[in-house]
Copies of this chain bind each other. A is one copy, B any other.
Amino acid sequence: MSPTETDTAELPRHLLGLEGVSAATINRILDEASAFRELVDGADKKTAALKGRTVINLFFEASTRTRTSFELAGKRLSADVINISASASSLQKGETWLDTVRTLEAMTPDALVIRHPDSGAPHLAARALSSHCAVINAGDGTHEHPTQALLDVLTIQHHKGPIEGLKVAIVGDVAHSRVARSQIHALHTLGAAEIRLIGPKTLIPAEAESALGVQVFADADAGLEGVDVIIMLRMQLERIRGAAVPSQREYFRLYGLDPVRVGRAADDVLVMHPGPMNRGVEIASEVADGPYSVILPQVTNGLAIRMAVLNLLAQERQQEPAQ
């Protein structure tokens, strides 16, 4: 895709997920993020791009890294950022979700960043809005977490070049992972050669092969053979028993990423993890801290992706007629 095509790619009004989002749109966000990545690495990390604009972070689940990343992204763009967390929310007082959303909209924000335990909550919010405010999904139930997948793709591109033709393995509890779902959409759209899902059968969606166009492996060693990228998922410790795996130690033996298993992948494999990590459960410390790991660059790229998303969706608003 030429830069010109990218520049004129249509931007969605909201970023609710990556399913159905075009390669041109994803590339436009990635290009913008690459530019912000340079800003993040510089001395003065701030730009006046969103001065006078308001970003509301509405988080109904505990989160350190995603909330902090969006908050910092907004502040480095010079936006005013308001944090609202579940415990302080009117939801506890019996207000409906849409009344909460419309009330916040009436305070004239330019973007609502929403994390919610219910799949689809950000979509409901987006449909309820009557202003130009953009909704950004920061993780909804087991559905999507688009900025996480975008930062993963940005990280892969920085180290490997185009996604096209790459073999990527996603390892762990795919069934409950909104991160995995968004990654699969992004990797497909950008032309990954193979997407392999590795995990206990109980933790891989039954319809994955047909519906998502991926390959499923219950055997980790076979699944990792020759892949260019390994994305480890966080294992919810309370789900280990449900996975018909008797213990953390057993899970690590079967699916944990240790140096021997990394050796089955391509020579210059990338090891990724969205965090927070359970060391010794899904990943060995030697691997997390080892030469193939790009886990910390993922965090820095996350900041750049969120700056890009906030900036693009707010810029788009400026071009529309005021309401």
Contact = CB atoms under 8 A, between A and B. Distances in A.
A99 B43 contact: no
Interface residues of A, number: 59
Interface in A10-53: 40-41, 43-46, 51-53
A233 interface: no
Interface string A56-83: 1000001111011101100110001010
Kindly report how many copies of this chain are found in the complex they form together.
Answer: 3
A94 interface: yes
- Most B-side CB within 10 Å, residue of A92, A95, A100: A95
Nearest to A71: B82
A278 interface: yes
A315 B55 CA distance: 27
Interface of A: 40-41, 43-46, 51-54, 56, 62-65, 67-69, 71-72, 75-76, 80, 82, 84-85, 87-90, 92-96, 99-100, 102-108, 234, 237, 275-279, 296-300, 303, 318, 322
Pick the 4 closest A-B CB pairs, nearest first: A44-B52, A106-B299, A95-B276, A75-B80
Given A45-B54, A103-B299, 16 more contacts: A41-B108, A62-B89, A62-B92, A64-B88, A68-B84, A68-B104, A72-B82, A72-B107, A75-B80, A90-B275, A93-B276, A94-B237, A94-B276, A99-B275, A106-B296, A106-B299
